[in-house]
Amino acid sequence: MLRFGVLGAGRIGKVHARTIAASGKARVAYLADAVPKAAADLAAEVGAEVASVEDIVKAKDVDAILIATPTPFHAEQIEAGSNAGKAVLCEKPVSLSVERIEQCLKVVEKNRTTLMIGFNRRFDPNFGALEKRIRQGAVGEVELATIISRDPAPPPADYVKSSGGLFRDMMIHDLDLARFLLGEEFVTVHALGSSLVDREIGAAGDVDTAAVHMQTASGKIAVITNSRRAAYGYDQRIEVHGSKGMLRAGNVHNTTVELATAEGFRGDPILHFFTERYGQAYANEVLAFIDAVTNGKQVSPSGKDGLQAQKLADAATESWKSGKPVKVA
Amino acid sequence: MLRFGVLGAGRIGKVHARTIAASGKARVAYLADAVPKAAADLAAEVGAEVASVEDIVKAKDVDAILIATPTPFHAEQIEAGSNAGKAVLCEKPVSLSVERIEQCLKVVEKNRTTLMIGFNRRFDPNFGALEKRIRQGAVGEVELATIISRDPAPPPADYVKSSGGLFRDMMIHDLDLARFLLGEEFVTVHALGSSLVDREIGAAGDVDTAAVHMQTASGKIAVITNSRRAAYGYDQRIEVHGSKGMLRAGNVHNTTVELATAEGFRGDPILHFFTERYGQAYANEVLAFIDAVTNGKQVSPSGKDGLQAQKLADAATESWKSGKPVKVA
Amino acid sequence: MLRFGVLGAGRIGKVHARTIAASGKARVAYLADAVPKAAADLAAEVGAEVASVEDIVKAKDVDAILIATPTPFHAEQIEAGSNAGKAVLCEKPVSLSVERIEQCLKVVEKNRTTLMIGFNRRFDPNFGALEKRIRQGAVGEVELATIISRDPAPPPADYVKSSGGLFRDMMIHDLDLARFLLGEEFVTVHALGSSLVDREIGAAGDVDTAAVHMQTASGKIAVITNSRRAAYGYDQRIEVHGSKGMLRAGNVHNTTVELATAEGFRGDPILHFFTERYGQAYANEVLAFIDAVTNGKQVSPSGKDGLQAQKLADAATESWKSGKPVKVA
Amino acid sequence: MLRFGVLGAGRIGKVHARTIAASGKARVAYLADAVPKAAADLAAEVGAEVASVEDIVKAKDVDAILIATPTPFHAEQIEAGSNAGKAVLCEKPVSLSVERIEQCLKVVEKNRTTLMIGFNRRFDPNFGALEKRIRQGAVGEVELATIISRDPAPPPADYVKSSGGLFRDMMIHDLDLARFLLGEEFVTVHALGSSLVDREIGAAGDVDTAAVHMQTASGKIAVITNSRRAAYGYDQRIEVHGSKGMLRAGNVHNTTVELATAEGFRGDPILHFFTERYGQAYANEVLAFIDAVTNGKQVSPSGKDGLQAQKLADAATESWKSGKPVKVA
């Protein structure tokens, strides 16, 4: 039984704590949140004790730290957990600053502790199955991947201001997926961005509609499009082309019901947003971490994966601002 | 160049005459129709001469007769053509009377001439490809077939009165398809019929909604449903289950365009009726006849196929009226 | 908190006990099973006490009985629960004997207690949504329903012998669905059955491939096909035609991944069997029961629904054996 | 009856001449080709006379010139036709040189004659229906379009050398479609290109895999991906996102047949290449030209559309070579 300290009892913290509690292979020993009632309620539900972050990190009866706090706390909490010898699973991103991530990863490396980053989409059953089939050679040598990600509706402009911008806040998932699918590093990034959905987002210095394309040293190409609006639900699709064919993973509809009338054939909208679409992915992510830590396996995605995605997000942001392609080391 | 005499310049006569003229392997030499202008217009279009049925049948420079006249003329025209030594392609059915068909087939048999019946659906590119794959073993041994056929809207009650009823007029196509797909004769037929779409059809002594299931001596089952109404277009589907899996052939939509909005994902209605859906099938049917006659191949569907389908249609009609299953010899 | 006594800790008993335990609105107070270890393990998991059926039925701190024992025990356990004033949720069927069911329902009626029958498919999110839209008038007046149900592979011949036969064991679900979708009673049933999948099933006096069609007094038609074999997974589909169009609910695939190569476009098989396909349906069923009992709502499907489905299954069995259509009162 | 002079009796010349001959509204009066037999055969088929390009252009009994000769002849033949007062339908492109196109368009403008450019994809029934629905407001204000175009297999390296390169030879169709769908001019173009399919294409100084994204002054974005390889057929798709939703137009499969086995659900490959996929589009294009010229309507796409697409293709080529985004006037 792996003993977890869970930092953060917000939306994602709850999802993860419940997965741990129901896993049969781990339990939540301690739980911290800045809002005492949030911590107490979730602790009661999953049979954990409320404690401070400091005490949890130091606790002898804690094997692993799950970080689901706001982004500004991630790096220092990873370092604290690592310094205490704990395995850490941290929600993305480690930090909005590449330098801060590099600093943090050095600490983890020095301590030789485990750090996994919560890029949940790698664990989506559809995307995961697709990637596995790429590795099995189903499409031969990969040549081009396209990733579509559209939120159902724009976030409040306030959120946007502290988010790091669309490329760092939203597209970072797709940038990670692109690396995951192609299995190569990108060397060139070019971004286009527009504010077409919500003028306040533009006024806040961000974009709500964006396209990025990237190329690896061997010439493989990834194309990503993002939007903060999709009337028909949370649009999450992948398409990968290779020498032998194409693999794609589509959206999941609310039901399989279809209505045919004189107006045509109408199917349901797709699952509304990330808690619906990626519910299973969140669970798979935590279970993969538990399995890796328990059985001494390599965790994935690693801290380095987190760093590389952040570098690509920075490059995309810079490209959008300058209008020029950006080289990535 | 196979030289055709075409009897009938109505809707289907036109379709067939144009196919012959464009085939590059045959031509329409003569054309007859009870309406002189119809005959003259079509003859001008396809480069044929207008003549009487009698003269066409006797003409030395005619190799084949295509019969697209009203049903009551079919049997005698087949006999006349056969007696004159011509190959005949006759639109379904030979007659609404099984006895009359048997009589007609005896004449053809005695003359050893060629007779093909125009069950156009066997030549639909989708259904034809499906049947070919059954024969190639794609689903192993066939166990059960379901056929769905729904017209977009009911015909006038007047038409219904002289049609022989839904089972002989509409379902006969599906009864032929069932034999085509299973490759075995049915020994038991049970039918249900209702008048739900148009009360006048019921008042005229017919049904507009029907279900038939049939069984072969070896236990294979076919299920057919028919309706005179389908708001979304001409619904024509086949599904065949066998020991190794299922083959199905679906409808063809007007376009591939799909609209996704908050209401869901909407595709086009399907092709509206038989001239749209089976345009290619009609052409393939005539080309297959030309090929068979020109190259001395067996024609299919044969006169016997026409006879068997009619027997099943009679059995279904009798079953609907009596409420009891009917054995077929 | 509704307090449950759960009878039976087998496959379905487990599913239901876990749903109750996770519902937040009810709990498993007691649990009985003929196999002591099965009872003890499940009791430990859901925080219940092991007890005998007799003690559970009598227990003052039990509000509701969930019956997931083998079929032969159902009727007497329903009666015992009802006599003790408990609400009862019983897995289908109440009994393989219509007379026994009628006897049992009289007891429940006399006691004026609650009885719900576990026809899980009514609670499938796809089928449930389809039925709701019929009620909302999406297809106008319903005219014809087709139901396809195919198991992935045949059960052992031994199972078949004690099952009551395909019509009572397997098709009963579809017979209930047909009533659910059409909202009318059927007056005529005609069945075809064959043994094509496994000769031992035929030798055991049963069929493995079957087609039934039924008609209501107003002329509505339902068509059901069943098979004990489907290489591509558990095939569960519904299609309902009405005056304004068609509603259909299809299968659920393992993932949305599609591979396109020179051989074509290949999607995943569908969910393998009932625990995968109807997992959510089982949960919804128990939650609906909890809601109805807690809030004094009418339960559905009722004991009468169980009775009517059994009558249809008997009629189908008789029709298959006699070859004749059977009238249902 | 519009009287055509057709220049070129190659693959596309044949397609167009047959459309004219079958249109009932126009005829091919004269036909020219550098290969006398090609001209003679096609002339015989469509009932035309063979003549020289010079004679056709001058002929009094010619109203319109259809140019289906190799690209290097287009501009001068357009000018000759225009100078003779004929309406001209010219296959894309007018020229690989933007300057030459501008020079040619000045001649046409001075003569005030009609010039239509054969961007056939605008006339594809699927793409055409999609564009019509954009104009009707189905997706509200357009924000982002993605266009996928993949050939089934790479052309010979020899062809590549004289083609102007992928961006001018292949992507030009998609660049035109992007303008067609968004209804705005693009101001920025950035291109990525790789040689992954056939090294000889790379050696010949071209690419076989490419991604371009472009932005309009108002911020609308178009993303295009191209490849010279698609194992599953000629991949031609459009997806347009707007404020109210998405419109997409997919591929057309060989048949609607689907096979379900233990390996999953397999549908047919898509139509193999442009003659299959765009057969109807080619016909619609010529019929639209006939209609416009006969009835004094505006032709579309115009010479200016041809010019703008060529400018975008040049910009994409330059961007690929320089690695930098290119501004378009």
**Predicted-complex ipTM score:** 0.95
Q: What is the rounded distance in angstroms from the CA atom of residue C204 to the CA atom of residue C226? A: 18
* Chain C: residue whose CA lies nearest to B219: C194
Is residue A141 within 8 Å of A243, Cβ to Cβ?
yes
A82-114 burial: b if 16+ Cβ within 10 Å, else e = bebebbbbbbbbbbbebebbeebbebbeebebb
List pLDDT tens digits, range A216-253.
999 999 999 999 999 999 999 999 999 999 999 999 99
Give how far A134 is from chain B: nearest CA, Å.
Answer: 27
Average pLDDT of C293-303? 96
The answer to whether the Cα torsion of C9, C14, C16, C17 is positive or negative is positive
Q: Return the closest-CA partner of residue B120 out of B149, B142, B100.
A: B149
Residue B192 to residue C221, Cβ atoms within 8 A: yes
A267 touches chain B (CB under 8 A): yes
Fold of the domain built from segment(s) D2-113:
Rossmann fold (3.40.50)
Class of domain C122-281+308-327: alpha beta
| Edge-to-edge strand ranges of the sheet holding B115-118 | B49-50, B26-32, B2-7, B64-67, B87-91, B115-118
* CA distance linking residue A140 with residue A135, whole number of Å: 9
Residue type, A32: A
Answer for the pair D308, D172: CB distance below 8 angstroms, yes or no.
Answer: no
By CA distance, what is D153's nearest residue in C? C262
Give the C-alpha separation, C256 to A236, whole Å. Answer: 11
Interface subset of B 230-249, CB within 8 angstroms of A: 231-232
pLDDT at position A106 is 98
- Local structure of A103: helix, strand or coil: helix
Question: For residue D329, is pLDDT > 90?
Answer: no
Amino acid in position B317: T
Query: Judging by beta carbons within 10 Å of its beta carbon (0-12, 13-18, 19+), is residue D144 exposed, middle or buried?
Result: buried
- Measure Cα distances from B21 to B290, D51, D133 in Å: 12, 27, 38
Closest residue in chain D to residue A247, using alpha carbons only: D232
Contacts of B264 in chain A (CB under 8 A): 232, 266-269
**Cβ-Cβ contacts under 8 Å, D253 against chain C:** 265
Q: What is the DSSP letter of C139?
A: T
> CB distance from D220 to chain A under 8 Å?
yes
Which candidate from B133, B244, B254 shows the least CB-CB separation from D257? Answer: B133
Chain segment D155-193, per-residue pLDDT in tens: 998 888 889 999 999 999 999 999 999 999 999 999 999
Between helix A125-135 and helix A279-295 the angle, nearest 10°, is: 60
Are A126 and C255 an interchain contact pair (Cβ–Cβ within 8 Å)? yes
Q: State whether residue A195 sits within 8 Å of chain D by CB.
A: yes
Closest residue to A231, CB basis, from B232, B262, B266: B262
- Residue by residue, DSSP assigns B47-101 as T-EE--HHHHHH-TT--EEEE-S-HHHHHHHHHHHHHTT-EEEEESPS-S-HHHH
Through-space distance between the first and last CA atoms of chain D, rounded to whole angstroms: 41
CB pair distance less than 8 Å for B249 and D256 = yes
Q: Which residue out of D223, D234, D318 would a mutagenesis test of the A interface target, given it has the greatest number of A Cβ atoms within 10 Å?
A: D223
Residue with tokens 């194309």: A223
Q: Does D137 touch chain A (CB under 8 A)?
A: no
Closest chain B residue to the Cα of C220, Cα to Cα: B194
Q: C96 to chain B nearest CA, in Å?
A: 27
What is the interface size between B and C, counted as CB pairs within 8 Å?
116
A247 vs C259: CB contact, 8 Å cut-off? yes
Task: Enumerate the residues of chain B whose CB falls inside 8 A of the CB of residue C324.
Answer: 324-325
Chains that touch A (3 or more CB pairs under 8 A): B, C, D
Cβ <8 Å between A266 and B266: yes
Domain boundaries, chain D: 2-113, 122-281+308-327
Partner-chain contact B231 A265, CB within 8 Å:
no
Q: Mean pLDDT, to the nearest integer, of A113-136?
A: 98
Q: What is the pLDDT of residues A239-293, one digit of tens each?
A: 999 999 999 999 999 999 999 999 999 999 999 999 999 999 999 999 999 999 9
Which pLDDT tens digits describe chain B residue by residue (329 residues)?
Answer: 999 999 999 999 999 999 999 999 999 999 999 999 999 999 999 999 999 999 999 999 999 999 999 999 999 999 999 999 999 999 999 999 999 999 999 999 999 999 999 999 999 999 999 999 999 999 999 999 999 999 999 999 888 888 999 999 999 999 999 999 999 999 999 999 999 999 999 999 999 999 999 999 999 999 999 999 999 999 999 999 999 999 999 999 999 999 999 999 999 999 999 999 999 999 999 999 999 999 999 999 999 999 999 999 999 999 999 999 999 98
Note the pLDDT of residue C100: 97
- DSSP letters spanning D115-163: EEEE-GGGG-HHHHHHHHHHHTTTTSSEEEEEEEEE-SSPPPHHHHHHH
Nearest residue on chain B to A255, alpha-carbon basis: B264
Contact D89, D286 (CB under 8 A): yes
pLDDT tens digits, residue range C101-128? 999 999 999 999 999 999 999 999 999 9
Residue D110 C-alpha, separation from nearest chain B C-alpha, in angstroms: 40
Radius of gyration from C-alpha coordinates of chain C: 20
Mean pLDDT of C19-29: 96
**Contact flag C213-B232 (C-beta cutoff 8 Å):** no
| Chain centroid, CA B194 distance in Å | 23
Q: Is residue D54 within 8 angstroms of chain A, CB to CB?
A: no
Judged by a CB distance cut-off of 8 A, whether residue B250 touches chain A is no
Among chain B residues, CA nearest to C197? B243
To the nearest whole number, what is the mean pLDDT of chain D? 97
Helix (H) or strand (E) holding A179: helix A171-182
Give how far B318 is from chain C: nearest CA, Å. 14
The string of pLDDT tens digits covering residues C30-76 is 999 999 999 999 999 999 999 999 999 999 999 999 999 999 999 99
CB-closest option in B232, B260, B261 to A264: B232
Which helix H or strand E contains D171, and what residues bound it?
helix D171-182
Torsion on CA atoms B68, B71, B75, B76, rounded to nearest 10: -80
Dihedrals phi, psi of B209, to nearest 5 degrees:
-140, 130
CB contact under 8 A, A211 and D323: no
Average pLDDT over residues A79-88: 98
> Which DSSP letter does residue B261 get?
E
pLDDT of residue B162: 86
With CA atoms as reference, report the closest residue to A180 among A88, A51, A308: A308
Query: Of A148, A150, A213, which has the smallest distance from its Cβ to D213's Cβ?
Result: A213
d(CA D171, CA D206): 13
